[in-house]
Chains A and B, each alone.
Chain A
Amino acid sequence: MTELLQQLINGLALGSILALIALGYTMVYGILRFINFAHGDLFMLGAFAGFYISPAVAAVLPGPSLGSGLVVLGLAMLICAVLGVVIERVAYRPLRRRPKLTVLITAIGISLFLENTGQLVFGATPKKFPEIIPVYPVLKFGGLSITSSQLIVLGVTLLLLVALRHIVLKTRMGMAMRALAFNPEAAALMGINTDWIVSFTFGLGSALAAAAGILFAIVYPSIDPLMGILPGLKAFVAAVLGGIGNLPGAALGGILIGVTETLVAGYLSSTYRDAIAFGILIVILLVKPSGLLGKKEIEKV
C-alpha cells in the first residue's frame, strides 16, 4: 500500500511535468492546427536557461531557497517565452499560408537545429543542474517519502494551471485566443490582430515548457541538449490522449501518462518505461482518435 502510494506520488510529479509541456502542444495546435515538434526543445532550453542564470541569481539572492528557486523559474520562463515568439516569427509565420506539411517539416528542422546548436554551445556531456531549491524529505512515513522537490513540482504545476485557466477563460487575450482557435477569419473581423495572438500563444506555451524544464531538472538534476526529445514526444502523446486542442485534456493526458509510466516501471519492468506512452498512443488512435476529452472533428471537404 505504501509502495503504491509512493509510486502514485512519483507518477504525479512526472505527470505534472508532462502536462505542462503538453499544454504548449495543444495550445499551438488549437490555434494553428499544426504540431510544433520543436516544443520539446524549449523544455530543454528552459532547463539550460535555469542552469546559466542560477549563479547570477544566487549572487543576489543567496540560496538555495524557495524564493531564489522561483526567481530562476520565472526568468527561465521569460527567456523561453521570448525564444518561442522569435522561433514562430522567423520560422513559422512566413509559412502561414503554406500547406501544413511544410510547417511540420520546418518544425522538425527547428527541433534538430536547437538540439545540435545546443550540443555545440552547451556541450554534449550532461551537466549537473545546481540545487536551486533546498531538497529534503518533507514526509517520511514507513516506506513512504515525499521530498520538497516533489511538492514544488506539484505546487508550481497547480499554480500554473490555475493561472493558465484564468488567462484563457477570464482575460481579453484569452477570449481572443479562443475566438482565433474557433475561426481565424471571424476573429480578424472582431479587430483581433491574429499575428499578435499567435505570438502570445507561442510565448505562453514556451514559458510553460520552460517551467517544466526547470521542474524536471530539480527532480532529475542532470541536463543535456537532447533531454527534450523523449519528454517532448511523451507530452505530445499526452496531448493526443487528452484530445489535441483541448487544454484540460492535455493536463489530464500528462498526468495519466506520468502515473501509468511510473506504475508500469515500478510493478512490471522499468524496461518498458518508455514504451508505455507510445503504446497508449497506438491504442488511443485505434479506439478514440479524438482523445479522451476531444470532440470529434468533422473533416470538411
Chain B
Amino acid sequence: MLEIKNLQVSYGAIPALHGISLSVKAGSIVTLIGANGAGKTTALKAISGLLKPKTGEILYEGKNIAGLPPHHIVKLGLSHVPEGRMIFTNLTVLENLQLGAYLEKDRRVIRRELEHVFGLFPRLQERQPQLAGTLSGGEQQMLAIGRALMGRPRLLLLDEPSLGLAPLLIKTIFEKIVEINREQGLTVLLVEQNANLALEISHFGYVLETGRIALSGESASLRQNPQVQSAYLGG
C-alpha cells in the first residue's frame, strides 16, 4: 500500500533522513520506532506532505505522492495524526471532528462517520459542545484520532499517540488502534518511542537510528532481538 524508496529529507542544510526505504502492507500495522531525533516524525511529515523530500519516492497505492501538498494527499485517503495532536483547541469537539471530514460534502456520510467515531470513543460524544482545549490529554488524543478517522482514510499515520499519557490511557488508545485495524482493515503506520507497546500491537517494525533504518523485521522477532531489547525495550 505504501512503499518508500530512498527517502531523503533535510531541514535547510541539515539532513534528517539519509535515504530510508520501507513498505507498509495493506491491512497491517507497521511501526517505526527509534530514539528522540531519529527522524520518525520527519518521515511521517514527508509522507503526509508537510515536508518536501529532497529525493526519493513515496509510492502510495502505486502513485508517487512525494512533494504533493498535504491537502492533495489527504484526498487520496491518507490521514496523519500529528505529533502533539494539534487539536484545534479554540474550536469545539464537534467542530474538530467536522474539520476532519472537511473534504466530504455529503452530510449523511459525515453524520454516519460521526456516529462511528462516537461509537469508538463515547467520551467524545459527551464532550461534543465543549472547546477542545478543555479536554484532558487522553481525550485530546482520542479526538485527534477520531478527527483523522472522519476523513475515512485507508492509511492512518499516527505520531506518538502515547506521548504524555498515563499508562492506563495509553493502553486504551492502543487497544482502539488495534480495534480500528482489525474491524475496518485500516492500515496503520505507527511512530512510537514506546517500543514495547508498539511492537506488541504491530505486525512489522522498523528501527530508525539517526536518519537511517538500522533494523527491520516481524515485530515478534524484533522483540526477541537482543540489540532491540537492550536499546529500546529496557532489557
Q: Which residues of A contact B (CB under 8 A)?
A: 172, 175-176, 178-179, 182-183, 185-194
Contacts and interface: CB of A to CB of B under 8 A. Distances in A.
B86 A185 contact: yes
B55 interface: no
A190 B87 CA distance: 11
Contact of A189 (B82, B89, B90): B82
Contact of A190 (B49, B50, B90, B102): B102
B74 interface: yes
Interface stretch (B93-101, B167-175, B185-193, B221-229): B93-101
28 contacts: A175-B98, A175-B99, A175-B102, A176-B102, A178-B90, A178-B91, A179-B88, A182-B90, A183-B88, A185-B50, A185-B70, A185-B82, A187-B99, A189-B70, A189-B74, A189-B79, A189-B86, A190-B74, A190-B99, A190-B100, A190-B102, A190-B151, A191-B70, A191-B75, A191-B102, A191-B151, A193-B69, A194-B71
Interface of B: 48-50, 69-71, 74-75, 79-80, 82, 86-91, 95, 98-100, 102-103, 147, 151
A284 B79 CA distance: 43
A193 B72 CA distance: 8
Contacts of B82: 185-186, 189
Contacts of B74: 189-191
A112 to B, nearest CB: 33
Nearest to A189: B80
Nearest to A295: B90
A169 to B, nearest CB: 10
B105 to A, nearest CB: 9
A191 B100 CA distance: 8
A186 B86 contact: yes
B28 to A, nearest CB: 22
A187 B147 CA distance: 12
B70 A188 contact: yes
A194 B87 CA distance: 17
A182 B88 contact: yes
A182 B50 contact: no
Nearest to A195: B69
Contacts of B79: 189
Of listed A172, A187, A189, residue having the most chain B CB within 10 A: A189
Given A172-B102, A185-B50, A192 B71 contact: yes
Contacts of A185: 50, 70, 82, 86
Contacts of B147: 190
B91 A188 contact: no
Contacts of B80: 189
B71 A188 contact: yes
A189 B48 contact: yes
Contacts of A179: 88, 91, 99
A176 B49 CA distance: 19
B167 to A, nearest CB: 27
A95 to B, nearest CB: 18
Contacts of A193: 69, 71
Nearest to A183: B86
A176 B151 CA distance: 15
Nearest to B87: A186
Instruction: Across the A-B interface, give the 8 residue pairs with the lowest CB-CB distance, nearest first.
Output: A191-B74, A186-B86, A188-B70, A191-B103, A190-B102, A190-B99, A193-B71, A191-B102
Contact of A192 (B50, B87, B91, B102): B102
A183 B103 CA distance: 18
Nearest to B144: A186
A39 to B, nearest CB: 24
Contacts of B90: 178, 182
Of listed A172, A175, A185, A190, residue having the most chain B CB within 10 A: A190
A185 B79 CA distance: 13
